[in-house]
Structure 1
Amino acid sequence: MKTIIKYVLLCLLAVKTVTAQNSTKSINLSNAAATPYEIELTQNKTTHILFPSSIEYVDLGSSEIIANKVEATSNVLRLKSVKEDIKPTNFTAITNDGKYYSFNVIYNEQPIQLSYDLTKFEKQNSKKQSEVLFKDLGSISPSLVDLFMKAIIKKNKKELNIKSKTYGVEAWLKSIYSQDGKLYFHISINNKSNLPYEVDNVSFKIKDRRTTKRTTIQEVSLKPIRNYRDFQTINSQSKQDNIFMLDQFTLSDKQILLIEINEKNGVRNQVLKVKSSDILNIKQIIELKL
């Protein structure tokens, strides 16, 4: 009798297992699809797309179309077909702010439109783009980084007395914030002179505070991961603010961080000196009202 009961239980268990396996269904990803834009290309005319942010990546679905970033810009893509009457294809693009764009391409000898401004389109149509994560940002999304930077700019609080002044141009390090293993440096440039001030580059270097002629100068360059904007020409009697994000670091009492702002074809260079105490006493971004 016990043998029969065991046999029946085994049969029921086998039937249940088979039923469970048969009831397993594949997941339909149609609801997760990234809705593509539709675009027409031709061979004898160039199509341009203006993206809201710098282009980081482009992948073409066919060798029958070509695409390049416009050299003088970072957010304009030009495209055309390599021959007439190409087959329908697609391409994707990822921008610096983490947005993912998908395009369906069809051939048209006379495209209705040759220039597309996605910045204008997204504002008018509230199209929500898919977002990707970048390795250098870790688990922080690019849109959240942008939110942090905007909050710092909006707060515009001068928490540090670190400044440099040369020939009518002032540079201030207003504040340093931290969040999720990243440091945010708020730098402001005020051009009080009568000549425009064009920034060539901004560098971050850790150096020894005291060195002698016999001592080898120790220098470590730090590369910003992101910045709020590319410094442009600062007109006379005007100012501009920017945020630079770097990986978190600390300084010893014998070290100093130099932030060097160099003028293009000029001598009005600025140097901001940051001590270890300035780094250790920074605040977290969560203290700001986002």
Structure 2
Amino acid sequence: MKQLLFVFTALLYGMLTATAQQSRIMENAQLPSFPLDITWHKTAVLIFPQPIKDADRGDAYVLAETFKDANNILKVKAGKKNFEESNLQVVTSDGKVYCFTVNYKDNIPARPIDMGRAMPYAPVTFPGVSLNSKQVEDLSVKVAETYAFLRGGRFHRYGLSLETQGVYVKDDVLFFQFRVKNETHIPFEPATIRFYIRDRARTKRTASQDTEIVPLNILQSGTPESDRGTTIVAAFPRFTIAENKYFGIEIMEKQGDRNPTNRIKQKKLLKAHSL
């Protein structure tokens, strides 16, 4: 009887210990949740370091909407007063997930919230991509520091130049290296960057059909007015294009109409170097 009781006690202790260890592991794996107070007569503004890919609201009365010309900014507002606690989760193009605990409050600060100043996050995986967000970020830095090997096809208008300096591949991810240079005394401030695949053939009567491509990560360093200009590294799930299409980039100027573009044809894309 004593031996049976000892075995039962040992099993119970083992189960409790395993449960406690599993609970600690889950707590360590959980991302932090940021408190977010919203109200019905003011708009809370959240600024993210990268474009917003998706946003999920816990309840319909949590109203969330991105700005038309700035896809890294989210407007949040209450659809009714005094609602019960809810949540909001935002996924950005670099694979990071931001979690918010949302509560109603009559008066909230009018200042925007910059999520770029928040604590770093654990690497996040992308669907169908073998590299996680940390690996993509590290490789983007490596590409930004690599000397250009591609020539030709440079955009040069309005005192601005935009050129493709390199294409790289690592497993199932493509990295594109661009440089923006401003040769005028009027500063060039990018608002958004658009990537797409377009048919090369155009007719006056038929509008070209663009296929928008959302990057996994965008890295920008330097300024267009500096000697080296701004280096932009954009990472995408690996793809190829047909001979009658091209991959394009368009940079929209903030409060301006200088929108440099550049195109990469199949021949140049197939020159990608391995990382």
Give the structure-2-normalised TM-score.
0.66
In 2: Cα distance, 1:77 partner to 1:200 partner:
17
- Kept in 2: contact 1:166–1:270 (CA 8 A): no
Distance across 1 between alignment mates of 2:134 and 2:122: 11
Correspondent of 1:275 among 253, 267, 273: 267
1:78-98 Cα offsets, whole Å, 9 max, x none, are 222222222222222211122
1:44 and 2:41 aligned = yes
Aligned to 2:207: none
SS across alignment from 2:270:
helix
CA deviations 1:45-65 (Å, max 9, x no partner) are 221111222222222222332
Report the residue type matching 1:135 in the other structure: P
Q: Cα deviations across residues 170-211 of structure 1 (Å, max 9, x unaligned)? A: 55432222211233232334455789999996555798xxxx
CA–CA separation in structure 2 for the residues paired with 1:267 and 1:43: 37
1:180 is matched with 171
Q: Does 1:242 align with 2:232?
A: yes
Equivalent residues of 1:162, 1:273 under 8 A apart: no
Determine the C-alpha separation between the residues in 1 that align with 2:160 and 2:120: 41
2:55–2:90 contact (8 Å) kept in structure 1: yes
Amino acid at match of 2:104: Y
Q: Name the counterpart of 1:83.
A: 80
Deviation at residue 37 of structure 1 after TM alignment:
1.0
Q: Is the 8 A contact 1:161 1:174 kept in 2?
A: yes
**Alignment equivalent of 2:54, drawn from 32, 48, 57:** 57
Once the two structures are superposed, the pairs formed by residues 212-231 of structure 1 within 5 Å of their partners are 224=213, 226=215, 228=218
Whole-angstrom distance in 1 between the partners of 2:167 and 2:30: 40
Aligned residue among 162, 165, 186 for 2:152: 162
Unaligned runs of 5+ in 2: 201-209
Distance 1:77 1:87, change over 3 A: same
Please give the alpha-carbon distance, in whole angstroms, between the structure 2 residues aligned to 1:186 and 1:87: 47
Q: Which amino acid aligns with 1:82?
A: G
For these two proteins, the number of residue pairs brought into alignment is 247
SS at match of 1:162: coil
Q: Spell out, residue by residue over 1:11-56, the C-alpha distance to the aligned partner (whole angstroms, 9 max, x if none).
A: x9xx989x86995454313333322111212222221111222222
- Which blocks of at least 5 consecutive residues in structure 1 are unaligned? 1-11, 208-220, 286-290
Query: Any idea what SS the aligned residue of 1:53 has?
Result: coil
- Deviation, structure 1 residue 166: 5.4
Q: TM-score, normalised by structure 1?
A: 0.63
Give the letter for the 1:91 counterpart: L
SS at match of 2:107: coil
C-alpha distance in structure 2 between counterparts of 1:200 and 1:129, whole Å = 24
In the alignment, the residues of structure 2 paired with residue 176 and residue 115 of structure 1 have an alpha-carbon distance, to the nearest angstrom, of 36
CA contact 1:40–1:107 (8 Å) conserved in 2: yes
Offset of residue 242 of structure 1: 2.7
Q: CA deviation at 1:74?
A: 1.0
Give the root-mean-square deviation of aligned CA atoms.
4.5
Q: Which amino acid aligns with 1:129?
A: Y
The answer as to 2:26 corresponding to 1:34 is no
- How far apart in 2 are the matches of 1:250 and 1:106? 46
